[in-house]
Amino acid sequence: MPTQPTQPTRPARPTRRQVLGSLAATGGAAFAGACAAPFPAAETQQTKTPVTLRLVWQATEAEHTMATMNPVFEQRFPNVKLSFEPSSEYLVKLGVLFSSNTIGDVMFLEADDEGFFGFWAAQGMLTQLDAFIKRDKMDLNVFFPTAIDALKIIDGKIWAYPYKAFMARCGVFYNAALFQQNGIPLPTDAWTYDDMAQAARRLTRRSGADADVWGGGRNFGGDYSFMAITRAFGGDLYSPDGKKTLIASEPSRQAISWWLDRFLKDQSIALNPVIANPRVLLEQGKAAFATGYNPGDRRLIANALNPTGVPWGLSLMPKGPTGRRGGAFFLTPTGMAKITKHPDESWEYQKFLAEKETGVVMGFPTPISGQTSAHFGARKDVYTDPRVLNAPDMPPGVMAALARSMELPEPLGFAANFLAAESEAILNAEVGKAVKGEVQYDGGFFANLAQQIQNVLDKPAPSAPK
C-alpha cells in the first residue's frame, strides 16, 4: 500500500471542510414503523470472551440508527458491547485518533473531505476487507455497482464497506402549485433542457429589475455540483483517474455556459453565489423549481413545504446532449481500524450496518433522535422496500424518483492527490466571478480556470501527520 500524503486544508469554504486545517496543525420523524491488522486464519472462530467495540461517528449522522439497531446487534452477539461515540467535532477527532493510534474499532467515513475513506486507506490506517469478504462469501451484487466501484479507487482493493449512499446533484424539486397556476405541465424525467428553459422563462415574475418569483434555481457551487453539471453534457471536472481536469473541454464549457445563460441572459434561473441558496427560494415560494440538489434531500423540502400545504414533487434532471442526466455518486462507508484488536467482531458490525433492515431504518430518523441525516443504505433492495417507496409523509412519486436516481451510472469523482478542496475553492471563486458578471465566460476564462485547477492536481500532497 503506497504511502500517500496528508489531506489539505480547504480555506475558501467556511464549513466542516475547513476543519482539516486544524487536523494538519494538531498532527493528526417520520416513520415509526421502520424499524491491516493481521487477518485471522479461516478456521479461527469468533471469540466468546467479552468485547467492547468503539464506534467513532459524526454527530447527528446516526443517533436514530444506532439506538434502533445496536440492541439488535448486541442480542445477536451477546459477548459484544457497542460503545457509540458521536462527536460534533468528529473530523478533528478522527484525525487526532488516527494519528495517535488511539482510534476505535469501526468508524464513519465519507467519499471526500477530511473523512475520505480513500485518504485514510492510502495512509495505511484501515484494515483491508477483501479477505473477510472472500472468507464469508459476501455477495457484493446486493449493492449498487457504483458503490463497489467507488470503494476500489485506491488500488482495486476494498478498504471500507458500504453503509449509506446517494446520487448527488441530480434532482429537480418543484412547487406543483406554481406550475399548475401557470398552465405548465409538471416536470418529469422526460423533461428536456429546452423544456426547462422555456418553463423557467414563463414562470418568472418580475417587478422592475427584481424577481418576485424565479422560474427556477440551480445549486451552482461545489465540486460535486460541477461534476453533475458537466457530466450531463459529456464533460467532467476530473478525469477518471483524478489526475487531470476536464473543465475546459468543449462539453464542460457548454454545460456551464448553459446555466450562466439562464441566469445572466434569460434572468430566469437563479444561481449562487448571487443567490445564496436557490433551494431556499423554492421553500419560500419564490422559485417554481430547484435543480442540482440531492434527491435524498427530500426531508428538507418536506419539512419546509408540508406544513404549509404547498404541493410539491421530485423528478430527475433532464438528459443532456449525450443522453446523461448528470450526477455524482456519494457514499459514506464504514472503516475498520488497522489497529483494532477485534477484527472479527468489527467485521460483523460492518456487515450488520450494510444489511437491508439497517439500510431502511437509517432513512427514517425520528425528530427527537438527534439524527438529521435521512439517507438510506447502499443496497439495491432498500429502494424496492415498500416502507421506502410508500413513505407516508412524501408526495406520490417522490420516493420512486429517489430510487431511480440510484440507478444512474454516474461515478464517484475525486482528485488523485486528495487536494479536491483547493480545486473546489478555485472553481467556486472563478465561476462565481462569471455568475456576478465580472468576467466573460469565454474560451480564455475556461482555459485560465483549467490551468489553475491543473496546477493544484499537479501538486504532490504533503506528508502525513505523525
Distance separating alpha carbons of residues 121 and 136, to the nearest angstrom: 22
Show the CA angle centred on residue 243, arms to residues 417 and 466, nearest 5°. 10
Q: Please report the sign of the dihedral spanned by the C-alpha atoms of residue 61, residue 352, residue 334, residue 345.
A: positive
Q: What is the DSSP string of 320-333?
A: -TTS----EEEEEE
pTM above the 0.75 mark? Answer: yes
Dihedral through CA 370, CA 372, CA 374, CA 376, nearest 10? -70
Q: Is the pLDDT of residue 285 over 80?
A: yes
In angstroms, how far is CA 19 from the centroid of its own chain?
18
**Integer-rounded Cα radius of gyration of the chain:** 22
Residue 58 Cα distances to 16, 102, 108, angstroms: 11, 17, 7
3-state secondary structure of 29: coil
Dihedral through CA 207, CA 212, CA 217, CA 219, nearest 10? 100
Q: b or e along 378-402 (b: 16 or more beta carbons within 10 Å of the residue's beta carbon)?
A: bbbebbebebbeebeebbeebbebb
pLDDT in tens, 297-344: 999 999 999 999 999 999 999 999 999 999 999 999 999 999 999 999
Band (pLDDT 50/70/90 cuts) for residue 39 is very low
Residues 65, 367 contacting (CB under 8 angstroms): no
Mean pLDDT of the chain: 90
The predicted pLDDT at position 95 comes to 85
Distance separating alpha carbons of residues 102 and 418, to the nearest angstrom: 24
Grid cell, residue 371, equals: 439524527
Q: Is the pLDDT of residue 131 over 70?
A: yes
Grid cell, residue 263, equals: 441566469
pLDDT in tens, 203-255: 999 998 889 999 999 999 999 999 999 999 999 999 999 999 999 999 999 99
Distance separating alpha carbons of residues 138 and 354, to the nearest angstrom: 11
The structural domains of the chain, with segments of one domain joined by +, span 16-168+329-393, 171-326+413-457
Identical fold, 16-168+329-393 and 171-326+413-457: yes
pLDDT in tens, 61-73: 999 999 999 999 9
Residues 79-95: what's their mean pLDDT? 92
The predicted pLDDT at position 199 comes to 98
Residues 399-416: what's their mean pLDDT? 97
The predicted pLDDT at position 185 comes to 98
Residue 436 Cα distances to 267, 280, 290, 416, angstroms: 12, 19, 19, 31
Architecture of the domain delimited by 171-326+413-457: 3-Layer(aba) Sandwich (3.40)
The predicted pLDDT at position 68 comes to 98
Distance separating alpha carbons of residues 247 and 238, to the nearest angstrom: 7
Residues 367-375: what's their mean pLDDT? 96
Band (pLDDT 50/70/90 cuts) for residue 91 is confident
CATH number for the domain formed by residue range(s) 16-168+329-393: 3.40.190.10
Band (pLDDT 50/70/90 cuts) for residue 45 is very low
